[in-house]
Structure 1
């Protein structure tokens, strides 16, 4: 069992006030808070061994290289990749998806089909639309159902011999729905399609095993799981990473350069042009270390307890509707008050020191499905408490009294 009172001491920001009220941070699905241990990893790099990596023979460069590559190994072990070179360090999930989309631009042709789900974040929709425009491939969509789940029967009917790629999030950022990616991957492989899973929202709650899933690509952003912004990873099966062309050209991703011909570096450097976010990569490794000291099983159990409690309390408010009721789901509740714009609710909650996200959450097709402008989204983490949920419920009741 985790001790929340002890854990909260690792997050000094949780002690601050907003508008004279104690901060209640329920915007974790957008960006989680960062513990002192991860911030220390960043400052230790800049104060102790700040240097470029891979290129220098001097001591600082060697220390920085070792720390950066050790972080990559931590990521490999966390996600159970077969090889460290299957972990590509990127600026985040959006970068990772665009890297794959760029690579498949050379492999697709007119008449090919790719499939996305109706639950996707814009970053797992727009790059594939752009890919279709470049290649003539056709984009098809797995429809969603009223409870926030995907229609797998319709998905099976979309799959055919022309299907080349399938893209789906592990967890919906807008609804918290945990998609049955094992089945989605297996069905896609049945027609020899390649699968990319957007794991950005799952990673803080679920430790994915990429070999057990047999997934071709899996993406993650560090800032969702106690790490810094501006860094993430792309896992790719070695066979596919070798087939895809480089995403960017420059230093680090080359083996030999002449004005007549350039040859590319081996994995993972083939996809890591230029000086990377060195401190960010090292801190990502520190974030994984931190979360493992707490334990992903303990995190999942506690967050489920928070989710169940918040669902019960919010559901008791007349005129409040929760969107996304499919189980399992992660600790996210998207809701609206009848006749009230979500922005207005969010504004009142902010005045009470409660941070929630309002709007379409970069998932506009979901909002169009429900015919709403957006939702209020409260997303919980292992450092949140039931007392904070009580404050949220009281705040929503106050907003209801003022706005309805």
Structure 2
């Protein structure tokens, strides 16, 4: 089945509005995707008709809220093909999910039976050079707290492999000293889709834990945690056409059951006394306090929405868009693609630079034409350093993006060049 983009667009009320008197062309989905009416309605209906706290009340509203919240957990588990719903942890976003892991690992030294997670001098944590800051800073902090060493797999900054990992470095950087390998599935700055299976296989061979940042993968391609073989996978709701304020951490149950908690408080406990505390089983061990109830319910609606469209069809639609956009943008003089210039193993995110024009100026002038893109280092500053640029302009696509909108982007870029040529 082919994705009916025009029908999809009708589900997103914001796409009918104008900006500066021009039809909105929204090309910033990698930053945050827009929301279909079904998601907006799900959150509004929960607040209007079913709101109460979860797992704390026996009254009708409390039961309805708990059922809706736990129902969302079931939907996410099915979306990821997780073996158990108890492997799904709701967090505030993917940043919170990655910090949860990093701080839980650093708590291992004081948690009974958690020696397998303990890090110290001589141990190494490996990431890649294309990571979002959310998958860099928590691990740098963990290494500072524990004395472990922070390492990374570099990327090619030019040539035919521009924007891709240096293949030989995977085996060189991931060694018997490696304890954690945390890496992005699809780069938010480059669009690169990494060789996930290859990295996980190497990490397994040396006994390291693997963590996959799937923030940019979850909205764009099928995710099957059992097929991936990773130990942990995380994504965020607002990029998956869901609300902000909710994210997901999936982990193998046997690891979660042995892992120390990060936050302490209500709901994550088994028993509490003045002498000490014992902790609940996963996932509640990692969901201290009142959770993001309405947001999780709306995320469940977003999962229903994309599942109904079909993740394989979404992937095919966006592959075609990416190929079309790469070809179109490369017809523009003095425009450089930052990252892979072909659609092979890449997602629907394209960063570029225009000679003589700062990316912020590009974005501002495009906005005057109603075209929303992002300019900056996209919370991936090491990528800009690798390419020797202060920032890039980034256009990113979603299920509602059309080739006509890409044509508008290209025409807008040409107008920007005309303005700066005067």
- 1:304 alignment partner, SS class: helix
Distance in 2, Cα, partners of 1:371 & 1:269: 45
- 1:282 alignment partner, SS class: helix
Unaligned runs of 5+ in 2: 109-117
1:363 aligns with 2:380: yes
On the 8 A contact 2:215/2:239 being kept in 1, the answer is yes
Distance in 1, Cα, partners of 2:121 & 2:201: 25
Q: 2:248 aligns with which of 214, 233, 239?
A: 233
Distance in 1, Cα, partners of 2:310 & 2:221: 11
Residues 3-402 of structure 1 correspond to what in structure 2 (within 5 A)?
A: 3-105=4-106, 106=108, 107-145=118-156, 146=158, 147-325=162-340, 327-402=344-419
- 2:10 alignment partner, SS class: helix
On the 8 A contact 2:222/2:312 being kept in 1, the answer is no
- 2:68 alignment partner, SS class: helix
Number of residue pairs the alignment of both structures matches: 404
Question: What is the TM-score with the length of structure 2 in the denominator?
Answer: 0.94
On the 8 A contact 2:235/2:249 being kept in 1, the answer is yes
Distance in 1, Cα, partners of 2:270 & 2:420: 63
Deviations 1:317-354 (A, max 9, x none): 11111111162111111111112111111110011110
The equivalent of 2:114 in structure 1 is none
Alpha-carbon deviation of 1:155? Answer: 1.7
Question: What is the TM-score with the length of structure 1 in the denominator?
Answer: 0.99
- 2:315 alignment partner, SS class: helix
Alpha-carbon deviation of 1:302? Answer: 1.1
Q: How big is the alpha-carbon RMSD for the aligned residues of Structure 1 and Structure 2?
A: 0.9
